[in-house]
Amino acid sequence: MKIHEYQGKEIFKNHNIPTPNGIPAFSVEEALEAYYSLKSDIVAVKAQIHAGGRGKGGGVKIAKNKDEAEKHIKNIFGMNLITHQTGEEGKKVERLYLEGGVDIKSEFYAAITLDRSKEMDVFMVSTEGGVEIEKVASETPEKIIKIWIDPLVGMKSFQLRKLAKGLGLGGNAFKEACFTFSKMYECYQKTDASILEINPLVITRNDKIIALDSKFNFDSNALFRQKEILGMRDFTEEDEMEIEASNFNLNYIKLDGNVGCMVNGAGLAMATMDIIKLAGGEPANFLDVGGTASAETVKNGFRIILADENVKSILINIFGGIVRCDRVARGVVQSVEELGLNVPVIVRLNGTNAEEAKEILSNSDVSVIAASGMKDAAEKAVKAIKN
Amino acid sequence: MSILVNKNSRVIVQGITGSEGDFHSKQMLEYGTNIVGGVTPGKGGQYAVDEKIRVFDSVEESVDQTNADTSIIFVPPPFAADAIIEASYAGVEIVVCITEGVPLHDMIKVKQVTNKNGTRLIGPNCPGIITVDECKLGIMPGFICKKGSIGVVSKSGTLTYEAIDQLVNVGLGQTTAVGIGGDPIIGTTMRDCLELFEKDPDTEGVVIIGEIGGQMEIEAANWAKDNMSKPIAGFIAGQTAPPGKRMGHAGAIVSGGNDTAEAKMKVLSDCGISVSESVADIGRIMKSLMN
């Protein structure tokens, strides 16, 4: 789960990670009020959307006076912000964050995330702050300093010193950096984050450390114990159908194609998308109905898939283990009848009670196309569109 | 022979009185798995699974009383890490965690403990292990398997069943099938399973099924290139998955450059593994390697 910059900075404040003075605003009026209460000569007006690259897309502007602030607020609020992460359709800006200016001496990058290969968290810093870190990583990897944290003893002082020294810091800035890094790890742990990134982390002219940005990603498996974080979820940042699907315990991701698919299990669902493509079609979605697919699940799955107007045929691929194919078949018949389906439905059922399932389908009045094997199913689903 | 589990494995079920634990214990017993006890804190002394299996309050007690060497875990996500660590300290050799949704920060710590104690952990968020006609440990449908000479290792549940079904259809049986799980941190890796299959005299060929995200398939392929004498057929799911979107499994997300299906398929191929572009060809490719 992701959150906005201003929410991340709230979390930072609670963990003693210094941030500039800032106020979130949910309308132009609120933003103007925020501007006056900040009482700062320079104010940054920042669009709050989850996607990165806001600055380049024109979603972050600096105001040096009241007129500029008004102009930027009115321009950014409600704008359709397009960045390399939003895709072409962009994202409407409905939240702003106004922040007092900071007198920057230098900019750094700092982040904590999981290193899957080492099975430990890695803390990374770089002097190349403010730019895309992926670029630094691929072009000048030596400019990224890393330490791996042993989870049984936590982050140790020598590691903090290594990071701060790696950034070339001395004096007060060195001490403050060590303190801030330790707080970052504490914050990462306590919030069950999977990414905590500050880019840029800046040093001011009077040697103070300040987090100028915040980026979080949280482990969705841990949200059951992170009520406060869960309360920060912004549903407008998520696909409506994906939210609805999750309410039915379905795992749905919308894609751009026209062959809808409904599958049990994530791996098999991906493989089904892949074989649709190999058969000359384009998958319209990823949909994993999980380990307990019932008639009800199937019906909800149909509803979700059909909400996408691009869908021209639907492929159902179930390998029954715990899931019984006869139940799925009943769900298919029932759904096709109740929802008055007008797109071709191709069904491939294998595993537990597959024979009974085939009988249910062939004895019913609804017209579904039976398939044997995944290749056959994918080819039939693609062909059904062309007919 | 086989790997990890066999008819002599002495199994306890952690979370045996829960609905999942109860249902799958019945299925496992029916398959012939030697379940010697169960654990549910506070329910020690009772008998579960149609009054057949004795319940203990702790893993330690169950091991003392039954000499169990293997455990399977069906406890809810908030308690799963604790259950694994408990089994590890009780000296259980093989621990299979079926639970889906174990927090990442918990697993980072769990892994240190199982490494330190030398516990062989499978999962979490996996379908378990099956050694054909001997021991089923988890939620796989046993009836689809046939005894034979192919080892299967996979990150995904139903995709494993699909591969097993295709193997049977081309006349190839299996020794052991291992579902290692699709989370970012798991106990036993694909490479670990290849090492075990290489040492197992009854296994003559291996199917590996991976997916987008992480480097596990690449590590396994690089190891196999220098150390594996048996033929390997491979498949990677997620060729059409867009970057940045989590495809069901917590670990199935394309985040860097070389964790895409395409990149992995190339490395596997370069390491001498016969990669199936289509999921429908896994069985056929394994068959051609065995001829």
- Tell me the pLDDT tens digit for each residue of B202-230: 999 999 999 999 999 999 999 999 999 99
- Report in angstroms the alpha-carbon separations of B2 from B10, B205, B209, B265: 16, 12, 19, 27
SS3 A104: strand
Q: Which of B144, B239, B242 sits opposite A255 (nearest CB)?
A: B242
Q: Is B222 on the interface with A (CB under 8 A)?
A: no
What's the token pair of residue B139? 């939620």
Residues of A in contact with B238 (CB under 8 A): 270, 273-274
Query: Is the domain B141-290 a CATH 3.40.50.261 member?
Result: yes
Quick: pLDDT tens for A77-90. Answer: 999 999 888 888 89
Convert the pLDDT of each residue in A87-138 to its tens digit: 888 999 999 999 999 999 999 999 999 999 899 999 999 998 877 777 888 7
Check if the beta carbon of residue A109 is closer than 8 Å to that of residue A136.
Answer: yes
Residues near B203 by beta carbon (within 8 Å), at least 6 away in sequence? B1, B2, B3, B149, B150, B151, B175, B176, B197, B230
Pick the residue from chain B with its C-alpha nearest to A122. B108
pLDDT at B129 over 90: yes
What superfamily would CATH give domain B11-122? NAD(P)-binding Rossmann-like Domain (3.40.50.720)
* d(C-alpha B224, C-alpha B227), whole Å: 5
Question: Average pLDDT in the A138-154 region?
Answer: 91
Give the position of tokens 């006869």: A326
Report which of A305, A300, A306, A368 is spatially closest to residue A333, judged by C-alpha positions.
Answer: A368
Chain B, residues 156-195, CB within 8 A of chain A, namely 156-162, 165, 182, 184-185
Among residues A17, A36, A14, the alpha carbon closest in space to that of A25 is found at A36
Residue A195 has what pLDDT?
Answer: 95
Q: How far apart are CA A296 and CA B264, in angstroms?
A: 37
- Provide the percentage of residues in chain A whose pLDDT is more than 70: 99
**Residues of chain B with pLDDT > 70: what percent?**
100
Q: Give me the mean pLDDT over the B261-290 stretch.
A: 96
Question: Amino acid identity, residue B85?
Answer: I
Instruction: Give yes or no on whether B11-122 and B141-290 have one common fold.
Output: yes
The pLDDT confidence band at residue A341, using thresholds 50, 70 and 90, is confident
State mean pLDDT over B17-44. Answer: 95
**Is A139 tagged catalytic?**
no
| Residue B249 falls in the annotated catalytic set | yes
Pick the catalytic residue from A109, A185, A188, A252.
Answer: A109
Which of A121, A251, A270 is opposite residue B238, by nearest beta carbon?
A: A270
CA distance B246 to chain A (A): 9
Distance CA A271, CA A374 (A): 9
Q: Which of residues 113-132 of B touch A (CB under 8 A)?
A: 127
Average pLDDT, rounded, for chain B = 95
Our CA-based measurement puts residue B70 at a distance from the nearest CA of chain A, in whole angstroms, of 23
Q: What is the mean pLDDT of residues A249-262?
A: 93
- Assess whether pLDDT exceeds 90 at residue B98: yes
Contacts of B140 in chain A (CB under 8 A): 321
Inter-chain touch A375–B158, beta carbons under 8 Å:
no
Q: What is the largest CA-CA distance in chain B?
A: 56
pLDDT of B125 strictly over 80? yes
- Determine the pLDDT at residue B50: 93
How confident is the model at residue A386, as a pLDDT?
78
CB atoms within 10 A of CB B54: 19
Q: Min CA distance, B65 vs chain A (Å)?
A: 31
In angstroms, rounded to a whole number, what is the distance separating the alpha carbons of residues B210 and B217? Answer: 6
| Residue of chain B with shortest Cα separation from A222 | B103
pLDDT at B86 over 80: yes
Asked if B45 reaches chain A (Cβ–Cβ under 8 Å), the answer is no
Asked if A268 and B159 come within 8 Å (Cβ–Cβ), the reply is yes
Summarize pLDDT for A167-215 with one digit per residue, the tens.
999 999 999 999 999 999 999 999 999 999 999 999 999 899 999 999 9
Angstroms from A4 CA to nearest CA on chain B = 17
Q: Is residue B92 classed as helix, strand or coil in its secondary structure? A: coil
- Mean of pLDDT over chain A: 93
Cα B177 from Cα B169, distance rounded (Å): 16
Is residue A306 very low, low, confident or very high in pLDDT (cuts 50, 70, 90)?
A: very high
Binned at pLDDT 50, 70 and 90, residue A304 comes out as very high
Chain B residue whose CA is closest to A273: B240
Contact call for residues A311 and A282 (beta carbons, < 8 A): no
The percent of residues in chain B predicted with pLDDT above 90, rounded, is 92
Partners of residue A120 in chain B, C-beta under 8 Å: 108
B240 in A contact zone (CB under 8 Å): yes
pTM greater than 0.90:
yes
End-to-end CA distance of chain B: 22
> Given CB atoms, is B54 within the 8 Å cutoff of chain A?
no
What is the number of residues in chain B?
Answer: 291
Q: B144 in contact with A at a CB cutoff of 8 Å? A: yes
pLDDT class for A295, splitting at 50, 70, 90? Answer: confident
CB contact under 8 A, B112 and A221: no
Helix-helix angle B157-169:B282-290, to 10 degrees: 50
Cα–Cα–Cα angle for B107, B126, B257, nearest 5°? 70
> What confidence tens digit (pLDDT) does each residue in B150-197 have?
999 999 999 999 999 999 999 999 999 999 999 999 999 999 999 999
Are B155 and A267 a contacting pair at CB < 8 A?
yes
Which residue, among B144, B158, B211, B217, would best test binding to A if mutated, counting the most A CBs under 10 Å from its CB? B158
SS3 label, residue B133? coil
Interface check for B277 against chain A (CB to CB < 8 A): the answer is yes
Domain ranges of chain B: 11-122, 141-290
**The predicted structure's pLDDT at residue A12:** 98
Please report the pLDDT score of residue A342 as a whole number: 84
Whether A375 and B278 lie within 8 Å, measured CB to CB: yes
**A367 has a pLDDT exceeding 90:** no
Q: Give the Cα separation of A318 and A330 in Å (integer).
A: 13
* Residue to substitute from B105, B188, B277, interface A, most A β-carbons within 10 A: B105
Q: B112: which chain A residues are within 8 Å (Cβ-Cβ)?
A: 150-152
What does the buried/exposed string (b/e) look like for A60-76 if buried means 16 or more CB atoms within 10 Å of the residue's CB?
A: bbebeeeeebbebbeeb
